[in-house]
Chain A
């Protein structure tokens, strides 16, 4: 069965520190991969997506993610976190059936 795992339920970082959110997937083939962000009380906003090609993907708000086939991972990174980045982050994967499978999310807290 297809699955997406986000091992960290909650991460706290200091403003200005670097950030890495982990995502692992289990699929029959290389899936399409996405990172979404959800601010409190809001819907989800797409940060970035990976389909093929360059394994380092740039997204909005200064985020990037790296696809590593050997590790079945698609980790999200940001070199310097801002207080406005506090939110919940979801990794998602999709295959040929046009359906997305989401991870359970990682809640990011940013300390001043």
Chain B
């Protein structure tokens, strides 16, 4: 298994509070991704990073920000959580970002916003 960990694995929070999810990899892969998974929607890309301090938006980036200060860590922040952000969040990594490169997924973080 690819060395990807996500923390926390489960979180319950209240509407309006900030939340930060962490993805940590030990593979030294350049590309990292944040997806959310919702019933009936599959996985949707929130943000991705193609290097330290280099990030870009995905298809559902509103309400989310990201940061990558080290190769191994990619943080996803919900500045002010809303109930619509209740979801399962997956981090993924790939070596170069080219689609010939497999994306490896972390175990996921379940977030419940009350």
The answer to whether residues A43 and B45 also contact, given A95-B99, A98-B97 and a CB cut-off of 8 A, is no
User: 1/0 contact trace for A70-112 toward B, CB 8 Å?
Assistant: 0000000000000000000010101100111011110000000
State how many residues of chain A have any CB contact under 8 Å with chain B: 22
Provide 20 A-B residue pairs closer than 8 Å at the C-beta atoms, listed in order of the A residue. Answer: A32-B99, A41-B108, A43-B106, A43-B107, A44-B43, A46-B102, A46-B104, A51-B99, A90-B43, A94-B99, A95-B99, A98-B48, A98-B50, A98-B98, A100-B45, A100-B99, A102-B44, A103-B42, A104-B40, A104-B41
Interface residues of chain A: helix, strand, loop or mixed (majority)? strand
State whether the Cβ of B105 lies closer than 8 Å to any Cβ in chain A: yes
Known: A99-B48, A100-B45, A104-B40. A44 touches B105 (CB 8 A): yes
Chain B residues with Cβ below 8 Å from A44 are 43, 90, 92, 105
| Minimum CB distance partner of A44 in chain B | B105
B74 interface residue, CB < 8 Å from A? no
Report, as a range, how many residues of chain B touch the other chain.
20 to 34
Contact partner of A45 (CB less than 8 A), chosen from B40, B43, B50, B105, is: B105
Known contacts A95-B99, A98-B50, A100-B99; 14 additional CB pairs below 8 A are A4-B42, A32-B100, A42-B107, A43-B106, A44-B90, A45-B105, A98-B31, A98-B48, A100-B45, A100-B103, A102-B43, A102-B44, A103-B42, A104-B41
Q: Which residue of A lies closest to B35 (CB)?
A: A102
Kindly report which residue of chain B lies nearest to residue A100, judged by CB atoms. Answer: B103
